[in-house]
Chain A
Amino acid sequence: MNTSRKSFLTGFLFASPWIIGFLVLGLFPFVMSFYYSMTDYDLFQPPKWVGLDNYIAIFQDENFYKSLKNTLFMAFIAVPINLIACLLVALMLNMKVKGIAIFRTVFYLPSVIPAVAGAMLWSWILNPQYGLLNIILRALGLPDPSWLTDPAFTKPSLILMGFWGAGAGALIFLAALQGVPRMFHEAAEIDGANAWDRFRHITLPALSPVTLFQLIMGLIGAFQIFTESFILMGGSNGGPDQSMLFYAVNVYQEAFSFLHMGYASALAWVLFVIVVLITIVIFKTSMRWVYYGGE
């Protein structure tokens, strides 16, 4: 047996756990899902072929548009807002003062709370009458919205909850911030650049690769929002005026509340196409704003 053949076998053998898993729990369900999306299937009767009917029905389904609109709001408004918050926290945590490690721990701490427990805590903090937030707002003479029951305020509630978890994203920014060579800043300072110029022309470009990474992870996360809506709204109903009906919640509801397995599979495939398209667009446009050092 020659060496390249031997190393192929060894490599393949080492990778085989993942390869088997990919075939059985990846590729097979992936292909089956496409088949199911062309059928009417309730788990009990055998699947009935309906061709493209499910896909046609999606584009006439009000819930589809509602869930897509809610999800896109989270992806393109909530995620960028959250990234800015993460960056601000990272800049704070990058200050050179004694005891900064303690502050890093404090800001990261909320990120280790289980989503279910965190959502329970926030549904109490956001209680319109007795919740801490509205008590503070009233004390300051500010309006006190019914956060979780007013359809206009449910998604802002999620943005608020997202701020609390900004520590995790901030630490990723922080690691990148610390990778910016000091001499760049020193050289710019000698040349008379002020703090804002240095931030704008040195820090931001240096952070662009990690921003791209966080943006993509954030977008993917936005398309998976489920637990918060489920806990805060007490199920997959989508909350007041379905303002918390997100794409993943809608897929879950169609599949497991209504047992529309075929239709839900078609929804999942539309989601897949949307996510791939968004990822491609971001990668393509990223060439204009992402700067890789040393290339």
Chain B
Amino acid sequence: MNSILYGVTAVLLLISWMRDRERTVKALMKAWKAFENILPQILIVLLLVGVLLTMLDAETIVMIIGDSSGVFGVIAAAVVGSITLIPGFVAFPTASLLLSAGAGYMQIAAFISTLMMVGIVTFPVERAYFSRSLTLYRNAFAFLFSFLVAFVIAWVEAQS
């Protein structure tokens, strides 16, 4: 996947360079500025995620959402998903592990959905680009919506 992304970027960059060098340099400067702007906040996010994942290892997560059934487990899963930020390629295998360790589909769906849509550690970054109220509302809606996702997935998985 990364190679496609790099390939497309390289081709476009080359075309841009051949058509107008000055503009390409300007584009790269803008890219760097945008990156440099967000970098300090991102590094803080990475550190906080490191702290969270150290405290919330797979065993702890199973303890929270594994045996506990019903709505409490779903709420716990949604809260854990909201505060953690794990890249998808780690999250999906982890979720599959949690499933085989005894977590229910409803809990796992709530966890996956909030993990992707709700960002508590990235709140300051999101607020800087948009606004406080938009960030609050977006995350609140995404949190609530994740329960719907959890119920539907649990229902679909129960049909088999």
User: Is the A/B pair a real complex?
Assistant: no
